Structure 1
């Protein structure tokens, strides 16, 4: 899967969604206008006279058009704005309960472990996890605008009926949706469907008003309750024109993406029997979700969540047998109707050496964005297990996770470390300082390659702290990093990762809507970023630095002739932090060029060490381009 091409494809599907939405609105306007004219003709004709049909009235057409556009458009925009809270909003709307990151329930722990491993392997933050407790069918979904605010939700039947491998296949499928841009499209589609379906809800309300008006005026010979009730029924029927278009939109947008996500799940896990087995069990146990908001969210789910899909013609998902055959060509056609036996997990292979340098092709690094391999998944399993064995509940406890993050920033020099702890005692209290001091040896024992995965695993717990605690944590990260008078690239990566993944919640950063398409507003910021990447490699002299800069810039043709290498004394982490915030608004085609140039600069000697890799990954995460770990 090409991550950047997938993002562009998601943008193209947004245009398709707009076309379908316009067609739906036009159809609703035409139908409602016709109903109004029939009602007007019927009600304005004197009693015992033939109905005088009036089918053209421009003011009525304008009024109906304005009403439908304002109602449907306003409702859709309002719903989309409501959903900017992230994937958790969607999960809660269908009855989801947030799973405690530190849960000890066996089913929930299995689910959390699988999600954590997939997140580490993909280079994304661990998303929030929700459980649909009342749903026995096998299903699940991913929702959110970006990987930073994503949520994974699964049914109780999914965690109880599937083996670990099958659950991993489902979660890998959902991570494909996270990585290839489907989530943002699904959020927009949910908002559009809400606006379209609102017409049928209004029709039902008018029908009920007519019915009760009829009951209250039974002795009135001129009672118009029947007419109002019939008008309401007509509006409700027209609303189902919207339902029809809603299903059509869901089908057109969703079905091909499910095939891609199935294929990606096989690619990520190297185990077609995982997702294939999950699909076979759905064939036996079903995947229906019995919630009144399911119709709005049906396109999110792993499998068809609706009881009916107009005979399958407008199903949100391809047929099960076709999906299974695609991942398991030798399938015998039999579904599985019994829950899977819960097998024990095979220990992952040993982790690569923590200090090893990686020989890399910079362009292959960029091609790996958004792609999970078997080696990354094995690394993630080992990382998670090692962290839990060493640190226990600390990584999942909101009261301890912050101290663990801060312990990673303590200096190995005892004198500097004591100064850091003394300051921390004054700023955060003795309890915090003692906790950070106690965590220091544990954090050091994790090894260099374990630091980023450790941070990623603490993020769900950190998301539960208060805004005051978050502000204090950011202040403490910055201060501890500055106290050795030289902020390392790892320290910068810690700050970027925490701010990026939690900033939307605590700093009120909304979803980006202004995409920067031209190079002009980006050139100064990209020049600073690329210059930093050049000097990271510690070139021997200015001439070599300029050569590296020129070579790296060849991968960013959009900026040719627009930027020059900045001297090392003109660079700083504060400026780099601001530059990355601006570059995050670039379109994905531009981001590919930016990352390719940065990777070329860092790996100009053909090698990337752990610290350089951490910096590249921090830059990629900032640009909403999840980069898997180098293993």
Structure 2
């Protein structure tokens, strides 16, 4: 199942969640109405009041919890006790975590998420939270950092990235919100019972009502656990399969699962309340439910899906071995020599052999080659630049330095724009970096470097981010023309940073069909075709028609190079992002056909393709194919 099919399934799961929630609410309302009828006799006015009161409690509870989660991934991680991982950490296990996450993020074509550690949890577990990749946060337990070697940690993180890519996070965070409303009845009953209704003249009636609320709340708990289990189990199997495909081997993920099954702490979290609420989004079973309530397949079943010959007796031997000497992840790294094997980058003017179905299959579904290319990109990037990308003081000059023009005349107009908005120190810092560390940067490393800088950027206050985005716009447009790279970088920064500021407002699945956005498709394909053949109108027209044939084969929309050039794309994003998932697949194939009508695509065109996919929430890995 590819990315677009998974997105479509996630949208169906969202609908299914609404239906299950509605059924749960109906069950709770009926239970309370029956209890009231038994205690007070049939009274339609009273029953109408209790029905409305119950609906109000559930609705307000869900709205309250959803409002408390509106901040997205960071909010969820902090609420569950996560400690942010410092950008400049010297802790070896935290540095290893950050390196693994950055490599997987680059391989998948997504912004680097925020990182958190659950320091008080000795079990092996993790979760990804957020509404979209732009506001995602990944949290791992201290037990995972201490017990897992690098390959195993990669397997766990790749599993969580599958949830980031496939829309599971969005579903999971909404699930937390709506289920809280179902549990409100029980919470109110327990609170009343704790405070004690006997001190009131109507104490017996109040205590009776509290007991009814607790019993009915148990029904709500039953429904909540059933909903979480029904939504989660299949997605966990899919995430395991995706992680294996992502990291090129089964040993890492299987090893992490074996340690969960073989160590005393397993995956169970010590904070029962947090584990219960987040059980559907954890890597491993953090609560201990089984049967109908199990949010994850049995641990042995998950291991055997990766290693069919593995048996329960082998797990028992591991338990006995680790009871005497618990494993140390960092020590295993040293013994196994897990220090990475970077590949090489294509030539700056290289081309890629691609086909439209091949590119659409890569969206949100990176393969071994993509991970290998990410290794190459990260390892070939100077350590000094990666350090600057993680520095709060240096990140603004670094990103702006990427946008400075090589032409001294144009650069002379860009620097005053930076000075006017962010000060002379930032402008001079950007200039120094542009002339220094950024000179030798490979074109394929520019967007990944910005991705590494993204977590630091998104933590700045909203007013600073607004000023920064205004500066980026001024720098890009100050000479009256916008290059392909300038547009790609500026647009991705605009989209991803604004989504991180208001994550919940950008979390939705589209429903529009290709036929409703014909003109937007024509504009998009015309820009791509013109960018690929700027001096050859005939070749550009052939490229345009090749793309149009993929998405609107029965339409006759004439080729017209946009007068505004690449800036014409600004008008098409909202409509195209509202396409249903499978229509986006056709769009990606159409854009690829236009960019590669001669069967090949340049590094610059691949960056435009990645930008289009990124803006439309179809993350594309950096390496499309072996360079030619």
TM-score, reference length from structure 1 = 0.91
Alignment of 1:192 onto 2:178: yes
Q: Provide the residue aligned with 1:234 in structure 2.
A: 212
TM-score, reference length from structure 2 = 0.91
Q: Provide the residue aligned with 2:232 in structure 1.
A: 254
What secondary structure sits across from 2:117 in the alignment? strand
- List per-residue Cα deviations over 1:440-474 (Å, max 9, x = no partner): 12112221111111111000111122333323322
Q: Provide the residue aligned with 1:220 in structure 2.
A: none
Q: Provide the residue aligned with 2:158 in structure 1.
A: 172
Do the aligned residues in 2 keep the contact of 1:398 with 1:464 (CA within 8 Å)? Answer: no
Shift of 1:388: 5.0
What secondary structure sits across from 2:364 in the alignment? coil
Q: State the alpha-carbon separation in 2 of the partners of residues 227 and 419 from structure 1.
A: 77
Select which of 311, 315, 319 maps to 2:298: 319
Aligned-CA RMSD value: 2.2
What secondary structure sits across from 1:103 in the alignment? coil
Q: Structure 2 vs 1, CA of residues 251 and 508 (structure 1 numbering), >3 Å: closer, same or farther? A: closer
Shift of 1:295: 1.7
Q: Provide the residue aligned with 2:611 in structure 1.
A: 618
Q: State the alpha-carbon separation in 1 of the partners of residues 207 and 503 from structure 2.
A: 46
Alignment of 1:18 onto 2:4: no
Superposed, 1:391-406 pairs within 5 Å as 391-406=385-400
Superposed, 1:280-299 pairs within 5 Å as 280-283=258-261, 284=263, 285-291=265-271, 292-299=273-280
Q: What residue ranges of structure 1 are gaps of 5+ in the alignment? A: 41-53, 218-222
Q: State the alpha-carbon separation in 2 of the partners of residues 264 and 295 from structure 1.
A: 25
Q: What residue ranges of structure 2 are gaps of 5+ in the alignment? A: none
The structure whose Rg is larger is 1
Q: Structure 2 vs 1, CA of residues 353 and 549 (structure 1 numbering), >3 Å: closer, same or farther? A: closer
- Number of residue pairs matched? 605
Do the aligned residues in 2 keep the contact of 1:354 with 1:449 (CA within 8 Å)? Answer: no
- List per-residue Cα deviations over 1:550-583 (Å, max 9, x = no partner): 22112113x8427432234x23344312322332
Q: Structure 2 vs 1, CA of residues 28 and 489 (structure 1 numbering), >3 Å: closer, same or farther? A: same
- List per-residue Cα deviations over 1:103-156 (Å, max 9, x = no partner): 222221111111111100000000111111111111111111111111111111
Alignment of 1:66 onto 2:46: no
Shift of 1:316: 1.0
What secondary structure sits across from 2:342 in the alignment? coil
Q: State the alpha-carbon separation in 2 of the partners of residues 60 and 560 from structure 1.
A: 61
- List per-residue Cα deviations over 1:186-220 (Å, max 9, x = no partner): 112111210111111011123234x2x42x46xxx
Select which of 355, 359, 362 maps to 2:356: 362
What secondary structure sits across from 1:442 in the alignment? coil
Q: State the alpha-carbon separation in 1 of the partners of residues 569 and 539 from structure 2.
A: 22
What secondary structure sits across from 1:274 in the alignment? helix
Q: Provide the residue aligned with 1:45 in structure 2.
A: none
Q: State the alpha-carbon separation in 2 of the partners of residues 376 and 252 from structure 1.
A: 32
Q: Provide the residue aligned with 1:548 in structure 2.
A: 543
Shift of 1:377: 1.4
Superposed, 1:7-406 pairs within 5 Å as 7-40=7-40, 54=41, 56-209=42-195, 211=196, 213-214=197-198, 216=199, 224-283=202-261, 284=263, 285-291=265-271, 292-306=273-287, 308-309=288-289, 311-333=290-312, 334-335=314-315, 336=318, 337=322, 338-342=326-330, 343-344=333-334, 345-355=338-348, 356-387=350-381, 389-406=383-400
Shift of 1:512: 4.6
Do the aligned residues in 2 keep the contact of 1:470 with 1:506 (CA within 8 Å)? Answer: no
Q: Structure 2 vs 1, CA of residues 273 and 518 (structure 1 numbering), >3 Å: closer, same or farther? A: closer
What secondary structure sits across from 1:444 in the alignment? coil
Alignment of 1:595 onto 2:588: yes
Q: Structure 2 vs 1, CA of residues 509 and 565 (structure 1 numbering), >3 Å: closer, same or farther? A: farther
Q: Structure 2 vs 1, CA of residues 72 and 171 (structure 1 numbering), >3 Å: closer, same or farther? A: same
Q: State the alpha-carbon separation in 1 of the partners of residues 454 and 29 from structure 2.
A: 47
What secondary structure sits across from 2:63 in the alignment? helix
Q: State the alpha-carbon separation in 1 of the partners of residues 260 and 509 from structure 2.
A: 41
Further displaced range: 313-322 or 584-593: 584-593
- List per-residue Cα deviations over 1:503-541 (Å, max 9, x = no partner): 124478822558452446533322211110111111665
Q: State the alpha-carbon separation in 2 of the partners of residues 299 and 273 from structure 1.
A: 24
Do the aligned residues in 2 keep the contact of 1:523 with 1:562 (CA within 8 Å)? Answer: no
